[in-house]
Amino acid sequence: MINFLRYFGLISYSLIILNGSMIALPFFFWLLFTIFDFGNIDQLFAIFALVGIILNFTKLKNYVPIALISFILMLSPILSRLYQVPNHLFNYNGFKIPLLLYFISFSTMISLLIKKKIFTN
């Protein structure tokens, strides 16, 4: 169940759509393009998010602090975009639904990891 929630959250995260001036762009592609946009604060947040994604594929992925760090790192570029851009530009289902699914699945996964840790000790 924990792995299902993890992968469901990662898929939801990659399906978040950012509307551009001409076309909509999946968030994962925005992260990849932003890494190579030097001299921009978004580059730092994109690196944070990719580190968070990579942490989900390490041996320590079921360790609660690693899961929390991964969740926060992956959430940081979204929060940065919400802070930099007016909020009414994010009022569409292609952004809200995948973000909500990501947040719910990762929060549930972390709570299950904590529950598993408490009851195994």
Question: pLDDT of the chain along its 121 residues, tens only?
Answer: 989 999 999 999 999 998 876 788 888 898 999 998 888 889 999 999 999 999 999 999 999 999 999 999 999 999 999 998 888 888 999 999 999 999 999 999 999 999 998 888 6
The pLDDT of residue 78 is 94
pLDDT at 120 (0 to 100): 83
Range of the domain at 25: 2-120
Alpha helices in the chain (DSSP H): 2-14, 27-35, 41-55, 64-84, 93-120
Number of domains in the chain: 1
Per-residue pLDDT at 37: 86
pTM, entire model: 0.89
Whole-number Å distance between alpha carbons of 17 and 78: 11
